[in-house]
Chain A
């Protein structure tokens, strides 16, 4: 039996001049990607604006619990990266472990079809966190109201698509530079925001809120109290940060997943001659991306509680969202999404400063939004190389290096979906499932990780992760199963619970009925479409003499 030794006393590896022997990539660079993917400002603040619907949930506890559970997902992904470093993520891992058909359907729905839905979500965030607050602050009310209109939302979708297309065309190197610029300036903005909330009193906030509500929106009287009253009419009253119900806290997890589920977004970074140390590097990048975000979210929550007040913050969100989604709701005192950055800026009575803070914090959006189609482009290319999609899908223009095939496959449906979002608000519940579909893809990868030691023992046994075992069980199996259980819990909540707006099936006693038929039909349709593409490709390629089943079939070694 081999035994491990503590400190090798001498050189343990001799390398010669050979292509690709690069030095390890910096953990900081990988951390940045992970940190951006979660994005505590753009996605985090937006996602947390819905938490008022679970007033008994303890938000900080929920954030910490989500962090712990997502850590298992991070471990699973880090180990898969280590075992199959060049595999390229969910599509290839699932295809190799679960089979080509499952890999294609889960990856294509989670990394391609669903990102059509994310276009209007991105656009809506751009409106509420950038265009609208900036325009109102600068006194450009017409522009602000335009972006709140159906046409304005659609224009914002087009702006997002144009920006994302530019990023895909310009390439990752250009975008990485943009990201670094956005990171440092955005971080400076965040420090200013936290500082303002930390060093101001609640009374100062109430006074600033009333002042700016009047100055920017023409509100009369006590806008602060009017906001609380509007929320109370809709049933949200006296929400306390100190409330703690374990069950209710668990119910926060599916909301928090809207941003905390993505530290593994950059799991396909690669290297060569890797070992256990490389595994730790991949893990550290994602782990710290997750937990530094968790720590910053905790700080933001605490300063919101201290200065804005959790009851008021919840009330402001309730008043805003009720005015949009609940017919007959009272109008909020200010007709704008309660953006904590904007509230923090109001603590300084200077509109130019406020606008500057909103603009700087807008960099959190632009540093992140470019990733919308980057992963999709990769998956489309991989599927085209596997001959599941036509050759056209991987075409690149010879002069500008634009992947026009993949871009068209992303942009055309995204425009149609954006039109639907903008002009048919009744179908907006579809979009709430945008996180859920990616969670299904992650579930596939978690299961793939859990069964890797048995499905592909050749890969597992020769990887650095083979030595990680607990009572004889491979650690990737344990982390994969915990991740799968976590994801299944959230998928069940999204499917059967009424509070998320995503309910597909209502089970009351023995009665079962489809509560959201159009969403169910849409998503069933997308999965059926993915299956249909795969089956059609199998048949067409077979007629051409190509057996798609052999793509991932392993050649015997002996």
Chain B
């Protein structure tokens, strides 16, 4: 059984399309999206008479009505949400953070819904199973959208059998400086994991799919920040920011495989006792899908594994 695991797509439509196409491209039987699939930014495309204005990657431009769809695609490729609006609406949003939040939620759900439809269209004749476990950056509202998708399975909080291996998933993370949507203290993370861990019959055939990487490994090193969220020493100073609860669970239960994301710079593979832990990293802003391919033998466990830059 070939598992394809990618994570932290952050709204990049190019990456999501690649993720779905990976089934055929790599001959994968199972696709797992490890969370943080929604975008971080919204770009206003401001209507001005017969044209629209927007700023993308620091470049301001004005486009005609016939080109607006094209620039919207460009914006989506980068993982941002393009939203057509008037200058008065922009001014209104500038004044009211709550309205910005509401619009974000609306855009996220709309996009995830479209992505779920895309999965349906692309994989309708395929036997591949697709799992999504939203991450700490994903608002809770998207769970329902995923749960309703016919071709994608919501993995959050569940114990799922995949080819004789039991996979448990959680997108919840230890606290970050950004106070995101699925964060909890380490003790609470342990409590969230407990029921799933209890369900597992054979840890030597278990797969952990936990968004935050285990603390104190090469998978959880991120740039150290000062109190203003500015990287220290030009971004060269790294600190461990993973979850101790995840680390303790791996140390204690020793699953055969542990899949993680969250820390884009923490691309790597490490062994924690008998566990092979993987963080494929993320380069969504380049439209590159960093991922791992894991070959699981029905009897012998992990046959081989590889990180790829799709």
Partners in one complex: yes
The residue of chain B having its C-beta at the shortest distance from the C-beta of A467 within the complex is: B59
Q: Is B256 an interface residue (CB 8 A)?
A: no
- B127 contacts which chain A residues (CB < 8 A)? none
Given contacts A96-B309, A273-B285, A551-B306, contact A18 B137 (CB under 8 A): yes
A12 to B44, CA, bound (A): 6
Q: Is A50 an interface residue (CB 8 A)?
A: no
- Select the stretch in B13-21, B109-117, B154-162, B192-200 that faces chain A: B13-21
Q: Is B1 an interface residue (CB 8 A)?
A: no
Q: Is A15 an interface residue (CB 8 A)?
A: yes
Q: Is B71 an interface residue (CB 8 A)?
A: yes
B93 near A86 with CB under 8 A, answer: no
**Is chain B's interface secondary structure helix, strand, loop, or mixed overall?**
mixed
Q: Is A557 an interface residue (CB 8 A)?
A: yes
Given contacts A12-B55, A87-B283, A385-B307, contact A23 B62 (CB under 8 A): no
B285 near A13 with CB under 8 A, answer: no
A13 to B17, CA, bound (A): 24
- A319 contacts which chain B residues (CB < 8 A)? none
- A277 contacts which chain B residues (CB < 8 A)? 58
Q: Which of B58, B282, B306 contacts A464 (CB under 8 A)?
A: B58
B178 near A462 with CB under 8 A, answer: no
A173 near B238 with CB under 8 A, answer: yes
Q: Is A473 an interface residue (CB 8 A)?
A: no
Given contacts A467-B59, A551-B307, contact A11 B237 (CB under 8 A): no
B60 near A84 with CB under 8 A, answer: no
A19 near B262 with CB under 8 A, answer: yes
B235 near A553 with CB under 8 A, answer: no
A3 near B61 with CB under 8 A, answer: yes
Most buried by B among A14, A266, A269, A273: A14
Q: Which of A11, A394, A464 contacts B269 (CB under 8 A)?
A: A394
How many whole Å from A410's CB to the nearest CB in chain B? Answer: 17
How many whole Å from A399's CB to the nearest CB in chain B? Answer: 10
**Is chain A's interface secondary structure helix, strand, loop, or mixed overall?**
loop
How many whole Å from B170's CB to the nearest CB in chain A? Answer: 16
A20 near B303 with CB under 8 A, answer: no
How many whole Å from B9's CB to the nearest CB in chain A? Answer: 13
Q: Which of B78, B101, B137 contacts A19 (CB under 8 A)?
A: B137
A2 to B230, CA, bound (A): 34
A426-484 interface with B by 8 A CB criterion? 458-459, 462-464, 467
The residue of chain A having its C-beta at the shortest distance from the C-beta of B211 within the complex is: A19
A463 to B14, CA, bound (A): 14
Q: What residues of chain A have their CB less than 8 Å away from a CB belonging to chain B? A: 2-26, 29-30, 32-33, 83-87, 92, 96, 171-173, 176-177, 180, 266, 269-278, 285, 381, 385-387, 391, 394, 396, 398, 401, 458-459, 462-464, 467, 541, 544-546, 550-558
Q: What residues of chain B have their CB less than 8 Å away from a CB belonging to chain A? A: 10, 14, 17-18, 21-22, 25-26, 36, 40-44, 46, 53-63, 67, 71, 74, 77-78, 80, 87, 90-91, 93-94, 100-101, 103-104, 136-137, 173, 176, 178-181, 216-218, 222-225, 228-239, 262, 264-265, 267-271, 281-283, 285-289, 295, 303-304, 306-310
Provide a sorted-by-A list of 18 A–B residue pairs whose CB atoms are within 8 angstroms. Answer: A2-B71, A10-B46, A11-B90, A14-B42, A14-B93, A14-B103, A16-B42, A23-B231, A85-B285, A86-B285, A96-B309, A172-B236, A274-B285, A385-B267, A396-B217, A462-B286, A464-B58, A555-B310
20 additional A-B residue pairs with CB within 8 Å, beyond A385-B268, A546-B304: A5-B53, A5-B62, A13-B80, A14-B42, A14-B44, A15-B42, A18-B40, A22-B223, A84-B286, A172-B237, A270-B223, A272-B285, A276-B57, A391-B271, A394-B268, A401-B216, A458-B14, A464-B57, A464-B59, A555-B310
